[in-house]
Structure 1
Amino acid sequence: MTGGSTIRGTRIGGGSMGEIERGESAPRQQVDYWCDNGHHVRPSFALDAQVPDVWDCPRCGLPAGRDADNPPEPRRHEPYKSHLAYVQERRSDSDGMAILDEALTKLKERRGR
């Protein structure tokens, strides 16, 4: 007899037993989606699941809709804005100077000047 490291009854890489181990699969439906580039996507959903109106195309990343003749518009991407850009949108230069003057006055009072 050889060493006790042999696995008996299975082979390495053998897949699962299928429905015997996992149980039966839920009934499914396939839904068609088309993106603006003409790609066709067909994901599966459970019959009782709520089917989304828009699905991301796995080929190009654009939104895909259920109407082949009228795919949804591509999303508009805002360019990256720095923190300073957002602050400048909220405040005018005069507001910024007023806040700076107030902060400098408080700092001078704390230092005893």
Structure 2
Amino acid sequence: MSSGSAIRGSRVGSSPMRPDERSEPAPRREVTYFCAAGHASQIRFAADAPAPETWDCPRCGQPAGLDGENPPGRLRAEPYKSHLAYVKERRSDEDAAKILAEALAKVRQRRGE
């Protein structure tokens, strides 16, 4: 009778198997990024992959750069905008008045006024 496990020889919480002795991990290199808050983060990349100029700091989320003496500045937090604020950016007051008049005319027509 089966025990219900889909994978034989495994159990819940078991640790991953060791890498095969015949294989080697891919070559890697560590690149250090510095953020404006003073955090230094070592990020590992493949040895043949180019490192990006900026990386998000894992501790504070601000942009981090390769130059420790001159890190990138902090991001400016954008205030929350409502849907109405975005609509007002796209439409002028005259457009809004026209659209409102059309909508009111349709409502009045449906009501039989």
State the TM-score, normalized to the length of structure 2: 0.74
Residues in 1 aligned to 2:44 and 2:95: alpha-carbon distance in whole angstroms: 55
How far did 1:74 drift?
1.4
Instruction: List per-residue Cα deviations over 1:7-64 (Å, max 9, x = no partner).
Output: xxxxxx8855533279310001111111111211111111122311111112222111
Gaps of 5+ in 1: 1-12
Describe the shift of the 1:36–1:22 C-alpha distance in structure 2 as closer, same or farther (beyond 3 A): farther
- Over aligned residues, Cα RMSD in angstroms? 2.4
Name 1:5's counterpart in structure 2.
none
**Hey, which bits of structure 1, 4+ residues long, moved more than 4 A?**
13-17
Q: Trace 1:1-113 onto structure 2 (pairs within 5 A).
A: 16=16, 18-20=18-20, 23-113=23-113
In the alignment of these two chains, the number of paired residues is 101
Counterparts of 1:39 and 1:86, CA distance in 2 = 36
Q: Are residues 46 and 111 of structure 1, via their aligned partners in 2, closer, same or farther at CA, if it must alter by over 3 Å?
A: same
Gaps of 5+ in 2: 1-12
Looking at structure 2, the residues matched to 57 and 22 of structure 1 have their Cα atoms a distance apart, in angstroms, of 36
Greater Rg over alpha carbons, structure:
1
Amino acid at match of 1:81: K
Q: Using structure 1 for the length normalisation, give the TM-score.
A: 0.74
